[in-house]
Every structure is written in structure tokens, then in C-alpha cells.
């Protein structure tokens, strides 16, 4: 039996301008990191009232970003 999971829009009225291919959230749950098909990595601030705002866009990859991992200290 298939379970249907409804889609949830978390970006508000304006979606990101890139095609998201990977998502990661930081341990403090205040930053979302997305990788894109266009080779960008974006950092998003996540406020306590679930507002998501673009903080940084990193360019330079020549291929799609399909995986994200956090570094250890």
C-alpha cells in the first residue's frame, strides 16, 4: 500500500530561483543549506517563526551539487 505525502511549501511566496537538488539543515536548526542543479550552494536563515531568508549564495561549481555534508571540527 502506497502512502501519499503531501508537498509542503517552506519558501513562502517567492521560491528560490535555482533548482534544488540537495538540502541540509545545521545542528542549531537556524540555517538551511541547499545545493542546486546550476552548481550553486545557498545558505538560508530560518527564523523562529519559520521565515526563510537567503543569507549567502556560493558560486563556482561546474556541475550540479547533489550532496551536502557538514564538516567535523
pLDDT, residue 53, reads 83
Residue 54 located in a structural domain: yes
Residue 69 located in a structural domain: no
Give the count of domains, the chain.
Answer: 1
Global pTM reads 0.71
Residue 72 located in a structural domain: no
> pLDDT confidence of 73, banded at 50, 70, 90?
confident
Q: Note the pLDDT tens digit of each residue in 11-69.
A: 556 666 678 889 999 888 889 999 988 898 989 898 777 778 888 888 888 899 999 99
> Between these two residues, 61 and 10, which has the higher pLDDT value?
61
**8 A C-beta contact, residue 8 and residue 52:** no
Q: Which residues pair with 31 in a beta bridge?
A: 45
20 to each of 1, 48, 68, 73, how far by Cα in Å? 29, 23, 12, 27
Residue 15 located in a structural domain: no
Q: In the structure grid, which three cell numbers stand for residue 4, read together?
A: 501519499
Amino acid at each position: 500500500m502506497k502512502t501519499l505525502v503531501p508537498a509542503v511549501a517552506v519558501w513562502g511566496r517567492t521560491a528560490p530561483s535555482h533548482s534544488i537538488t540537495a538540502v541540509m539543515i545545521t545542528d542549531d536548526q537556524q540555517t538551511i543549506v541547499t545545493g542546486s542543479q546550476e552548481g550553486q550552494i545557498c545558505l538560508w536563515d530560518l527564523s523562529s517563526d519559520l521565515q526563510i531568508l537567503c543569507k549567502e549564495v556560493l558560486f563556482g561549481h561546474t556541475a550540479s551539487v547533489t550532496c551536502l555534508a557538514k564538516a567535523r571540527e
